[in-house]
Amino acid sequence: MSWSKLKQQLDSFLSPALAGKVSYRATSYRYSPDKSGSCYLTVDQKNILNMADITTPIRWYQNDQEIKNDPNIVIPVSPEEIEAIRKETKGAVPEERLEIMVRGRKSTSHAKELLAAQTALSKSNFTTAATTFLATSIEDNLESEDILLNILALIDRRVGKKRIQNMSESIKMKHPAVQYFYELRRRTV
């Protein structure tokens, strides 16, 4: 599919509150066949989703320690998870340490997931992801591990006010890029 048709389809699904605010951009290199160009999202004419641009307001992590030490990432711990660790350790660990262990394990797995998603985004082709987004249901795109699919679904007009409000807890565990577009959409709903 050509870029102009793809952009037209993506624009048709854009939330009316974000129309004119969010836009899709593409650059291509005419005389360089090995360069496919780059695609990115802009908000108010500012380049927001482009990993190659260091001036974007979204934090791109370099390693799992950055994710573990980021105070903006809140990792919820449930009583069931604490109970599972208690059973696993057969009660040998003090109560105050159980929550720290659960949070540590969850932050390690969360860091691996975020870095894997971020790496996949840097290697992905925007047009391929956008075509996948258009062919997949909104629910699947919102639950996907792909950052770009999450973002495209969040700014879609088919995601309503109630669904946006109900997602506040699950968004905390997503990449900062997804959180940025969630906040943008939440403010405009």
pLDDT given for residue 39 in this prediction: 65
Same domain for 43 and 25: yes
Nearest CA-CA partner of 74 in 173, 183, 181, 161: 173
pLDDT of residue 36: 52
* pLDDT confidence tier of residue 112, bands split at 50, 70 and 90: confident
Q: How confident is the model at residue 135 (pLDDT cuts 50, 70, 90)?
A: very high
Residue 137 and residue 180 in one domain: yes
| More confident site: 58 or 157 | 157
102 lies in the same domain as 181: no
Q: Are residues 11 and 89 in the same domain?
A: no
Q: How many domains does the chain have?
A: 2
pLDDT of residue 72: 76
pLDDT band at 6 (very low <50, low <70, confident <90, very high): confident
The structure tokens 């989703």 sit at: 49
pLDDT at 120 > cutoff 70: no
Does residue 89 surpass a pLDDT of 70? yes
Share of the chain above pLDDT 70, in %: 82
Q: Are residues 7 and 90 in the same domain?
A: no
Domain carrying residue 38:
3-57+124-188
Residue 119 in any domain: the answer is no
pLDDT at position 34 over 80: no
Residues 79 and 99 in one domain: yes
Query: Given a cut of 90, is residue 139 above it in pLDDT?
Result: yes
Report in angstroms the alpha-carbon separations of 131 from 1, 2, 8, 44, 72. 8, 11, 12, 24, 32
Looking at the predicted structure, is the pLDDT value of residue 60 above 70?
A: no
- Whether pTM > 0.75 for this model: the answer is no
Query: Is residue 50 domain-shared with residue 95, that is, in the same domain?
Result: no
Chain segment 171-180, per-residue pLDDT in tens? 888 888 889 9
Position 10 pLDDT exceeds 60: yes
Instruction: List, as one string, the DSSP characters of 14-65.
Output: B-GGGBTTEEEEEE--TT-TT---EEEEEETTEEEE-TT-TTSSS---SSHH
C-beta of residue 49 within 8 angstroms of C-beta of residue 184: no
CA-angle at 123, arms to 7 and 172, nearest 5°:
80
Whether residue 51 is contained in a domain is answered as yes
